[in-house]
Structure 1
Amino acid sequence: MVAEDDDKQAELIRRYLEREGHTVTHARDGLSVLEQVRHHEPDLLILDVMMPRADGLDVIRVLRAESRELPVLMLTARSTEDDLLLGLDLGADDYMTKPYSPRELMARVRTLLR
């Protein structure tokens, strides 16, 4: 699942994931992410931090409080060390900052799905 409010970014990520054989769902806001995960837990969540209706940090807090163990890769423009540490401390399995290399993103996805 790709949780990203920027449709161009979401489309780019979707194309790369589908090229590697993945089925991709997309949510544009945090509340939609939570709803979709609860109904059909994905194998992986690529999660933007700055989204409407609930940001990615709130989403990961809720998911981890619900004991959901799906791998989460945070992909965000928030790039300070404090942002990275907060994301990882809240339960993200990996953290990448924008701008990013789509090839590196796919390598990290493969690692998380092993």
Structure 2
Amino acid sequence: MANILIADDDPILVELVKFRLEGAGHVTSVASNGEEALDQIKSDKPDLVVLDAMMPIVSGPEVLRAIKSDPETKDIPIVMLTARKGEADVVTAIRSGAAEYLTKPFIPQELLVRIEKLLKEVQ
């Protein structure tokens, strides 16, 4: 069981991801904008973050860079889950430290399998 932060401003997508992760035994928390995500990451230190690229206040790529540049949070795996499908978006996210990059629409079971694989790798 892992503590997973879902950072996305789409409440329907958040509920879908929460349902899938909690059904697999994980504990979830939610941030609806990038600033809230950074605050929660610093205070709660989740085991993994599911991060959207297009969020209000602070964008997903900015959140990713902040997480990976902080020695206290740099080892938290980040799964980008976003509608941004451009080659530059994918390459930039991976180079910035994202462990996985999935595009919307996505297969919920695939997301779960990728998350569980990442969690096993970091244990």
TM superposition score category, shorter chain reference: over 0.9
Choose from 10, 16, 25 the match for 2:20: 16
Q: CA deviation at 1:29?
A: 0.3
Is the partner of 2:54 in helix, strand or coil? coil
The corresponding residue for 1:60 is: 64
* Segments ≥4 residues shifted beyond 4 Å: none
Between the aligned partners of 1:33 and 1:17, the Cα distance in structure 2 is: 18
Between the aligned partners of 1:103 and 1:15, the Cα distance in structure 2 is: 11
Question: Cα deviations across residues 18-71 of structure 1 (Å, max 9, x unaligned)?
Answer: 000000000000000000010010011000000000000000111111122100
Count how many residue pairs are aligned between Structure 1 and Structure 2.
Answer: 114
Q: CA deviation at 1:80?
A: 1.3
Between the aligned partners of 1:46 and 1:112, the Cα distance in structure 2 is: 12
Between the aligned partners of 1:60 and 1:32, the Cα distance in structure 2 is: 13
Gaps of 5+ in 2: none
Is the partner of 2:102 in helix, strand or coil? strand
The corresponding residue for 1:98 is: 104
Q: CA deviation at 1:84?
A: 0.5
Gaps of 5+ in 1: none
Choose from 109, 116, 122 the match for 1:110: 116
Q: CA deviation at 1:82?
A: 1.2
Residue correspondence of structure 1 range 6-85 to structure 2 within 5 A: 6-67=10-71, 68=73, 69-85=75-91
